[in-house]
Amino acid sequence: MIILDMSDKRPLYEQVRDRFIELIEHGILLQDEQLPSIRALSIELSINPNTIQRAYAELERNGYAYSVKGRGSFVANISGLLPERVKDFYNELDALLIKAKTCGLGPIEIKQHIDEYMGN
């Protein structure tokens, strides 16, 4: 479920965090489902429990999970996060479109690529 890439320049805790965000956003992990325990996952991935702890803390901070002492960590209700994620998407898209301009790419080529990629 989680795969670490030691050659990735991102810190391990970000890799773990982002992988869980992906799993939650794609609906593979459902609301209130229990995440692997910090200790179990740290053994499975052969990394320190503190690193998992940090990843889980960030998931909680970003609204993707909640944890209860003595019980475990669980997937949060993420329905409230959608507007924020849409806003994020458009911000990133705008940044990318600036780059497109400096490559000589116009709206027509980009839109065509989108149709090919997402289907129209």
Partner DNA sequence: GTGGTCTAGACCACC
Partner DNA sequence: GTGGTCTAGACCACG
* Alpha-helix runs per DSSP H in the chain: 12-25, 38-45, 49-61, 82-102, 107-118
Contacts with its own copies, 22-51, as mask; x by CB under 8 A: x--xx-------------------------
Residue 35 buriedness (CB in 10 A; 0-12 / 13-18 / 19+): buried
Say whether residue 53 binds its own copies (CB under 8 A). no
Work out the number of other CB atoms within 10 angstroms of the CB of residue 62. Answer: 14
Q: Which of 1, 28, 43, 82 binds its own copies (CB under 8 A)?
A: 82
Min dist CB 50 to DNA, Å, is 4
Site for DNA in 44-83 (CB under 7 A): 47-51, 53-54, 56-57, 60, 67-73
Q: How far apart are CA 73 and CA 52, in angstroms?
A: 11
Give 15's contacts (C-beta < 8 A, 6+ positions apart).
Answer: 4, 5, 8
Binding positions for its own copies, rule: CB under 8 A: 6-7, 11, 22, 25-26, 61, 66, 68-71, 74, 76, 82, 85-86, 89-90, 92-94, 96-97, 99-107, 110-111, 113-115, 117-120
